[in-house]
Amino acid sequence: MARILSGIKPTGNLTLGNYIGALKHFKDFQDSGEVYIFIADLHALTLPIDPEFLRNNIRDLAAFYLASGLDPKKATIFTQSSVPEHAELNAILQNYLYMGELSRMTQFKEKSKNMKDSAIGLGLFAYPVLMAADIVLYDADIVPVGEDQIQHVEITRDVVNRINKRYGKDTLVLPNYKINKVGARIMSLSDPTVKMSKSDPKGDIFLRDDMKTVRKKIMSAVTDLGSEVKYDKENKPGISNLLTIYASIKEVSIEEAEAHFVGYRYGDFKREVADAVVAELELFQQRYQQIIDSKEYLPVLREGAARAKLIASKTLKRVQNAVGLLDIDND
Ligand code: AMP
Ligand code: TRP
C-alpha cells in the first residue's frame, strides 16, 4: 500500500491557495493509501513568531485538517514536535546536504532577500533538511504539495540517492511529489502574476474570512482586457486564476469550467465563482468551529503522535545503524 505524507506550517492565516493546492486533497488518499498528515510546527519557528499566536495556529490547523474531511481512523494526524525522531533524523541528514544547494532554494532566497545575514536564522537556511527528514522518516512514496514545494521534494530525492549510494539502496525510500492538475498555484486576486500567499490581505482569501469579505474580495478581483471568460494564463491571468479556483472547488476540469461560462459577462462570472467558494468555505468553517469548541483535535493529535512514532522510530533506528551509530540495546 502506498504511503502518503504531507504537512503544512502553522504560521497563521491559511489561504484559499493552501486549501486548493494542498489541504483539500489530502483526504483523497485516505481510502487507497496509508496517510500521514502533520503540522509542521518546528518549521513555523524558522521565522520569528509569537508563542501564543503559534499555539493557536496549531489548534486551528488541526481543526482545519479534520474539517477538510480527513478521518483520524484512516489518516494519522500529528504535530511534528510530538515525534522527536524528526529532529533526531534532521541531525543526521544535515551532514548530507550542502551549503551550495541549500542557498539555491527559491523559498530560502525569497524569504531571506530583505533580511541581513545577521538576522537569518540557521533554521530558515536548513529548512529543507528538516523537511527531508519529515518525508523519509515515514518511508513516504507520495508527497502531495503545491507547486512551490516541488524543489524541496527534489532535494529530498537528492539526499535519498546520496545516502542510498553510500550506505545501501534500502536505507531510505525515494519519494515522489504529487501536484494537482488544477490549482497547484493559486494567484493573488489583486495581482494575478504573483502567488497567493499569507502576507497579502487584499489579494488573499483567508480560510477564516467571513463570507461577506470572501464575496467582496472575489467581486473586486483584478480582471483583464476583453470580455470573454477564457483560460489564457499569458493574456488573461486574472480570469484564468478565477477559472482555476472555480474548477478546483467544483472538481471539474478547466475545459468544463470554460464551457460553463461561455457567453457570461465578467461580473456574472465572478458572482458564480464567489457563490462556489462561499458554499464550500461556509460548510468548512462550520465544521472547523465545532471542532475547536469541542477540542476533539486533542485526542486525535495524541493518538496520531503515538501511531507516527511507531513508524518513525523504526526508520530512525535503520538509519542510525546504517551510518554506524552503535545500537546499545543490540550490540
Ligand atoms: P505553507 O503555507 O507554506 O506551509 O504551504 C502549505 C501547502 O500549501 C504547500 O503544499 C504549498 O505548496 C501549498 N500552497 C501554498 N500557497 C499556495 C498557492 N498559492 N497555490 C497553491 N498551493 C499553495
Ligand atoms: N515546507 C512545507 C510548506 O511550506 C511544509 C512541510 C514541512 C512539508 N515538511 C513537509 C510538506 C513534508 C510536505 C512534506 O508548505
**74: Cβ contacts below 8 Å, ≥ 6 apart:** 30, 31, 35
Please tell me the distance between residue 12's alpha carbon and the centre of ligand 1 in angstroms: 12
Residues 65 and 95 placed together within one structural domain of the fold: yes
CATH number of the domain enclosing 276: 1.10.240.10
Question: How large is the average pLDDT for residues 8-19?
Answer: 95
Q: Is the pLDDT of residue 202 over 90?
A: no
* Band of residue 200 on the pLDDT scale cut at 50, 70, 90: confident
Sheet holding 75-79, edge to edge: 75-79, 34-39, 3-8, 142-144, 176-178
Atom of ligand 1 nearest to the CA of 40: 4
Which atom of ligand 2 lies at the shortest distance from residue 127's CA?
A: 1
Write the pLDDT tens digit of every residue in 263-302. Answer: 999 999 999 999 999 999 999 999 999 999 999 999 999 9
Do 24 and 167 have their domain in common? yes
CATH number at residue 78: 3.40.50.620
Q: What would the pLDDT profile of 293-310 be if each residue is shown by its tens digit?
A: 999 999 999 999 999 999
- 18 Cα to the center of ligand 1, angstroms: 4
- What pairs with residue 15 in β-bridges? 206
Same-domain status, 18 and 72: yes
Task: Please tell me if the CB atom of residue 44 comes closer than 6 angstroms to any atom of ligand 1.
Answer: no
% the chain with pLDDT above 90: 95
Residue 166, classed as helix, strand or coil, is helix
Coil/strand/helix, residue 10: coil
pLDDT value of position 46: 97
Q: What are phi and psi of 65, to 5 degrees?
A: -55, -50
Q: Are residues 303 and 244 in the same domain?
A: no
130 and 216 share one domain: no
**Residue-range definition of the domain harbouring residue 154:** 2-183+295-323
Q: Amino acid identity, residue 190?
A: S
- Note the pLDDT of residue 199: 75
Least confident of 144-158, 164-178, 192-206, 211-225: 192-206
111 annotated active-site: yes
| Residue 128 near ligand 2, beta carbon < 6 Å | no
**pLDDT at 198 > cutoff 90:** no
Is 43 near ligand 2, meaning CB less than 6 Å away? yes
> Cell numbers at residue 221, please?
478581483
Ligand 2 atom closest to 9 (CA): 5
How many domains are contained in the chain?
Answer: 2
Q: Is 113 a catalytic residue?
A: no
In a domain, 135, yes or no: yes
Q: What is the pTM of this model?
A: 0.95
Could you say which ligand is closest to the alpha carbon of residue 37? Answer: 2
Instruction: Give 175-191 pLDDT, tens digit per residue.
Output: 999 999 899 999 999 99
CA 67 to chain centre: 16
Residues 14 and 133 in one domain: yes
Which pLDDT score is estimated for 223? Answer: 92
- Told to judge if 202 belongs to the known catalytic residues of this protein, a careful annotator would answer no
Extended beta strands in the chain, E state: 3-8, 34-39, 75-79, 142-144, 176-178
Q: What is the pLDDT of residue 279?
A: 98
